[in-house]
Amino acid sequence: MERIRNLLNIDLFEEFQNKKSSFSVVIMDSGIVLHPDFDSAKLLFCDFVNGIKSPYDDYGHGTHIAGIIGGKGKNKRGIYRGIYPECSLIAVKILDQNGNGRVEQMCKAMEWILQNKEKHNIKIVNISLSLNQTALPEKSKQVLDMVRKMCREGILVVAAAGNNGPAPGSISQIADLKEVIAVGCYDGEYKSKYGQNCEEYSSCGPGSSSFRKPDIVAPGTDIVSCNNLFSLGHYYTRKSGTSMATAVVTGCMALTLAANPSITSEEMRMLLRKNAIDQNIPWNRQGWGMINVKGMIKSALFG
């Protein structure tokens, strides 16, 4: 995370990183553990898989995503802290111990989000997962209709483009929706020491409509963030993919909202596109370009 914060100039805005959140970010994923990097007073947990009340994550993906967005990095002197450590997080568990989920659980989770939108001031929903390509069309439609409904209610939905690239037209179904911020992966000059850079398999556009997809790219390779197995002494773990890039974008949006909480979802979309940095690669790989949180915050503050 230190590399990501340095690349995106996150620490230039420490005053907003340390500002208490007046809104919530929902992470629809595999859950979350009470890792030392999370403030339990600002953490809400809802389990649509097993109905368990206390926070848990038997797969680990959700905890890692949460750490990128709002972890404090306590066990490594802040090196692995997330984008916006004071963010209020709502972990909605829809994936089981194998990382699999059901349409019915996803839809119930999104119904809960809509019902509790005002109560918890939900502004952003992070969806770092994809619909199974073999899902029945009517099942997929149920999910996509619910995602559209959240967007119509003024919630920013940020979704992973998917890891099925680089073939053209490989964007995941949720990210393909024009209302959704689709996030691809791009790490610039960084070269992984552990395998492929995620832009080598990040899903590419064009989307099914004329809209540019993905909308934005962000770093997503070798991201060190919170581990669900911290109780065994393994506080952090390394993961790569558009899931991680999506969490980076969600964190940047949350930090921008912390700077100016009056920004609407549509204004945030404009800030995202207006300030994106062209990476001189085809548009179907980068969308509008690399996330530029520095430009977004300055625009949010000064227009």
Which residues carry out catalysis?
Answer: 29, 61, 243
Give the containing element (helix H, strand E) for 29: strand 24-29
Q: How far apart are the first and last CA of the chain?
A: 29
The answer, yes or no, to whether the previous bond of 214 is cis (omega within 30 of 0) is yes
Q: Which amino acid is at 286?
A: Q
| Residue 47 CB coordination number (10 Å) | 18
Q: Which residues pair with 236 in a beta bridge?
A: 226
In total, the chain counts a number of residues equal to 303
For residue 140, give the H/E element and its range: helix 137-152
**Which residues lie across from 26 on neighbouring strands?**
90, 125
User: How far is Cα 49 from Cα 94, in angstroms, rounded to an integer?
Assistant: 6
Give Cβ neighbours of residue 21 (< 8 Å, ≥ 6 apart). Answer: 42, 84, 86, 87, 88, 254, 258
Structure tokens at 181: 């911020």
